[in-house]
Structure 1
């Protein structure tokens, strides 16, 4: 299950992908849960070193086990417009699901074709896989125990149709996704070059003190206008001794003129 920001659980279909370095979630599911998005530009590479597109956002996903509600896991997932359309691609007709009758499966309807909501990559597989692996001949299907319950992997379809009819058409899905670190590094360097750095304005110590005084002392009265304390200096300036000498000298000169000419006084 996935948990939304308000703790609302939504049951989803999860696929484990051992060939993916990252986990992914569909855009539709992220919008349904109202998950917060973080803008990114991440290039993806698929099988054959083919470009698989560019991810423009990631999100934080909260996972909870349907069978064990005490299990809780937070993961970072890429938001993709779509994941594999349906898995399995068609319902197998010659597969006996009774082989797994004694296993508590994570998805009791795993044989029914349905859409995938989230892919868990190797970045989190180690936190959800449990000890317990069983093989089932003749197709060598594997049941792996996880915190969500048993998950099935392996071949589900017979090769007989393809051997009998060479022109038989079948669609195969292969999952593999890695981060293209080289392209990602180039994009980061490009954006760093294009980023405009605002000029650094260096203030005098007095200006910084006035700015801090405004931040600490300004307020707004009940009528609307702002009230700001008038800045007062508590210490005389460092050049006050020099100015004092000049002022005393000027005062003495005036006294001498008054003494010489009493009419001026």
Structure 2
């Protein structure tokens, strides 16, 4: 409106526009405008300052996405609530569209929202009709109508049924003396009791032994306060001085002292019985320890498109590669490439399947000149929140003179990045501090100092691992329909469309009838992607293959026969290397033999490895587009077979060697 009324006005000079802008702003915006001189040149400075501050498209888009994802749930079904929810979501989508966000790629989300949008429209219209009907029926009743008696309600079945819900709030009273002036923790009668008797009273009345509240156990207590005497997880009023066992008395512990993990389990069973609910049989494993192991965490920066994003990383030299969470990848909007890899852990068991990888540029918060580029695999979740225990204040202050890489290393927070052995040598520096507090180790990195080792905890760590399996009929039914549903035709991506158009424009047939096609190089090759030298690597693979063949005479003869066939058919020709042969313009495919005894046609075949990396880590497959999937879906193919009496299967002999490339 200011642009329409003042800026585009031909009657006002620039200094008058600045004067009006100064009058129309307030708060932070007025501070920006008031700092500019009241001259003709000052208006441009003030307007630029406002646009730089408030017209940040990334912040506007992220704000709308946050609003969209953080919409509160509707607790009551009514027309106004449904219309509000529908209006908020449509408003966010409209704002994203206005900010030139391409929501055309959100097909799974937008299509589902369109269906939900239509449902919400029908729903709130129905509710409005019901509400209007209720209002009209209430207004139609005569004011002087006599009050019906109980017989009227019994005999007239068409009368409206009314349901009344009474809500009463009872004032909090002391559990022991029933006084409304104080709570249990301040009750004089409770304070005069011995700690052991207080514990009995709290357990008898199903009270939490940490906050003295009702309705939950100590394991579920959200209070941040512990015992001020021993820092254990119980109330200070319930602290019992621990009696050190002697050799004459044995090691028995009075049952009235602070409950152990097993006593907490007994308290949980008593609590469930008091509520009249059957207890769930869950097999649990318990472990007690007064020390926990600190893992090295660091606050790092990730740079992408000129924007810096902060993340918390775990430095793990035991990992062969680096990882990033899918949540952080989506937040940064990192471009990914498709891969198929398995992540294995202890006992060589497969713990995750990796389908995406991305290139990440790491920056140091303390040294902006440091930049490390590495490839990371994308997983939904990397690990639990670290650390998994409460760290004592003594451990937090173990290295007061060092710049820590993670100043909040003692706070239980999530980890979004794992930096593995592929970048470990680039991260670690020479500094090291040993034997702090007897077991801690500090190591210097490019992000600061990381702290590792066994650390003292505030209280004994009670770790409960439960094994519980729930079979949901709804999930089973959903899985059934997902398996039985025939997949819909996938839309081509931008790279697949580019690959299709490239083949349409460049594919031709020569005089022999063979197809001649161009290799589908990526758009950023060779400007942003380059191939390294590959001749030495191909030589090494060749020598290893020859050594393997020399140990199997029959395999060597068959392999040589296949290669001679290549020469006779014109599929292979001898070349002479020169000084420029091992350049980025040439790529030599390593090859090896694959033996298949059960094959009836070709028992030995040659396999070419286009995924072999060159000297700079790039392979031929990395710079080529895979193109769309051409094969029909297996389910559709099998269903199609059922429509015909006969099915023929054929094969094009040596098909890939019949196609020429340029």
TM-score when normalising by structure 2: 0.25
Verify: 1:104 aligned to 2:411, yes or no: no
Give the alignment of 1:239-250 within 5 angstroms. Answer: none
Alpha-carbon displacement from aligned partner over 1:174-216 (angstroms, at most 9, x marks no partner)? xxxxxxxxxxxxxxxxxxxxxxxx9x975129x99xx9xxxxx
Task: Name which of 9, 15, 18 aligns with 2:317.
Answer: 18
Task: Name which of 89, 109, 118 aligns with 2:417.
Answer: 118
Distance change (3 Å), C-alpha of 1:144 and 1:53: same
Identify, as 1 or 2, the structure richer in helix: 2
How many Å apart are 1:113 and its aligned residue? 0.8
How many Å apart are 1:159 and its aligned residue? 11
Alpha-carbon displacement from aligned partner over 1:106-150 (angstroms, at most 9, x marks no partner)? 111111111001000011100010001111344411100001100
How many Å apart are 1:161 and its aligned residue? 3.4
Cα distance in 1 for residues equivalent to 2:412 and 2:308: 23
Give the alignment of 1:139-150 within 5 angstroms. Answer: 139-150=438-449
Contact persistence 1:99–1:136 (CA under 8 A): no
Task: Name which of 59, 62, 66 aligns with 2:358.
Answer: 59
Verify: 1:74 aligned to 2:373, yes or no: yes
Q: How many residue pairs align between the two structures?
A: 177
Instruction: Structure 1: state its 5+ residue gaps.
Output: 163-167, 172-197, 212-265
SS in 2 for 1:161: strand
Give the structure 2 partner of residue 154 of structure 1. 453
Verify: 1:204 aligned to 2:498, yes or no: no
How many Å apart are 1:18 and its aligned residue? 1.7
How many Å apart are 1:4 and its aligned residue? 4.4
TM-score when normalising by structure 1: 0.60
Contact persistence 1:22–1:77 (CA under 8 A): yes
Instruction: Structure 2: state its 5+ residue gaps.
Output: 1-299, 466-502, 518-662
How many Å apart are 1:15 and its aligned residue? 0.7
Cα distance in 2 for residues equivalent to 1:114 and 1:40: 29
Distance change (3 Å), C-alpha of 1:11 and 1:120: same
Bigger drift between 6-15 and 91-100 goes to: 91-100
Identify, as 1 or 2, the structure richer in strand: 1
Cα distance in 1 for residues equivalent to 2:351 and 2:311: 24
Distance change (3 Å), C-alpha of 1:92 and 1:158: closer
Runs of 4+ in 1 over 6 A off after TM superposition: none
Verify: 1:8 aligned to 2:315, yes or no: no
Give the structure 2 partner of residue 191 of structure 1. none
- Root mean square deviation of aligned Cα: 2.9
Alpha-carbon displacement from aligned partner over 1:59-116 (angstroms, at most 9, x marks no partner)? 0011000000000010000001011120001321364322210000111111111100
Give the alignment of 1:185-224 within 5 angstroms. Answer: 202-204=509-511
SS in 1 for 2:389: coil
Cα distance in 2 for residues equivalent to 1:131 and 1:106: 15
Give the structure 2 partner of residue 88 of structure 1. 387
